[in-house]
Amino acid sequence: MSLLKFFFASLVLVCNSVVFCALMVPFALIKLLLPFAPVRRGVDRVLNTIPELWISVNNFWLTAVNSGTWQVSGTEGLRRDGWYLVQSNHQSWVDIVVIQRVLNQRIPMLKFFLKKELIYVPILGLAWWALDFPFMRRGGGGGSARKDLRDARQACEKFRLLPTSVMSFVEGTRFTPAKHAHQQSPYQHLLKPKSGGMGMALGTMGELFDSLIDVTIIYPDKVPTFIDAMCGRLGKVVVLVQQRPIPPELLKPGSQQRAQLQAWVEALWQEKDHAIGQRLGSELYNS
């Protein structure tokens, strides 16, 4: 049965990706050849709608092959015409599918900070480029790092044209016990947060953001892999969504902004770590 579910999910996912990326190609070419603000604004509206449909189809196969329960709270009051900064803890590639399922068509389409190498992923790399996803190089320094920073800032500037949600996994990598031990993380369920991506978004378009959407993802049974999700072994999923005001001082330029942002994120991380511990303890008690 798991094998049949995997083949069904794979077929839907591949066909879905090919069809919707093909739909994006002519609009991506228009965007490349006519890089003018009025044209970009109209083209970007179409380019942002296509991935929402792609996500809806992915939600179909995810629900069809998995029977586990979902507990989602805090999505009330979200708006599709707002600007949001979104952050989440990160444990698995499944996190992206989970966040998209919960927030799709509730807020503007999520734009992720991606590793530079992902631009070469067949089909999806072109789609991410057309959608102005910021591509970042991990590590390195000097001129290449400064160029990556400029490119990411330029991508964030483009987000001003239409309501946008900028997504950041502030841990920078997926949580594993080995990484947790290596970091000597002060949090029980999280890695140390890195606020660079959030700082870039705030510094470029901070005055536009309505709020921070703080997402906490919990897998009470076990942390699933993407293969688990495709084979129907996703298990129970708990998603806590909180809208939080962004402190006004973080929107002001100044030498202390980075330190203030890091302190704010660390405070949020302490609260998130406590919420995960409480929920996991409750699940263990009730099982």
Rounded CA-CA distance 98/28 in Å is 27
Report the candidate in 104, 108, 154 with the shortest Cα–Cα distance to residue 129: 154
Number of Cβ atoms within 10 Å of the Cβ of 191:
23
When pLDDT is cut at 50, 70 and 90, the band that residue 255 belongs to is very low
Q: Which of 205, 162, 194, 182 is nearest to 262 (CA)?
A: 194
Provide the 10 A C-beta neighbour count for residue 26: 11
The pLDDT tens digits for 130-166 are 887 877 665 555 555 566 667 666 766 777 778 889 9
Angle between helices 196-205 and 257-286 (to 10 degrees): 120
Copy the structure tokens of residue 158. Answer: 């483009």
Asked if residue 5 lies in contact with residue 233, where contact means CB atoms within 8 angstroms, the answer is no
CB 106 within 8 A of CB 80: yes
- Hey, which residues does 71 pair with through a beta bridge? 238
Tokens 């799709």 belong to residue: 104
pLDDT of residue 144: 56
Instruction: Tell whether the model's pLDDT for residue 256 goes beyond 80.
Output: no
Q: Taking residues 171-199, report their average pLDDT.
A: 92
- Rounded to whole angstroms, the Cα distance separating 271 from 267 reads 6
223: helix, strand or coil:
coil
Which pair of tokens denotes residue 252?
């002001």
| pLDDT of 287 above 60 | no
Rg (CA), the chain: 19
Phi, psi of 69 (to 5 degrees): -85, 150
Q: pLDDT tens-digit profile of 195-232?
A: 888 887 887 788 889 999 999 999 999 999 999 999 99
Bridge partners, 168 (sequence order): 87
Separation of CA 113 from chain center: 8
Q: Is 153 helix (H, G, I), strand (E, B) or coil?
A: helix
pLDDT tens-digit readout, 263-283 = 999 999 999 999 999 998 876
- What stretches of the chain adopt beta strand conformation (E)? 70-73, 84-88, 110-112, 114-115, 135-136, 165-169, 211-218, 237-244
Q: Within 10 A of 163 (CB to CB), how many other CB atoms are there?
A: 18
Q: Give the tokens for residue 112.
A: 């992720």
At residue 146, the pLDDT reads 64
Q: What is the pLDDT of residue 114?
A: 76
Q: Is 68 helix (H, G, I), strand (E, B) or coil?
A: coil
Which residue, 17, 72, 15, 111, is CA-closest to 239?
72
Q: Considering the chain, what is the average pLDDT of its residues? A: 87
Q: Using CA atoms, how far apart are residues 116 and 114, in angstroms rounded to an integer?
A: 6
Say what the pLDDT of residue 159 is: 76
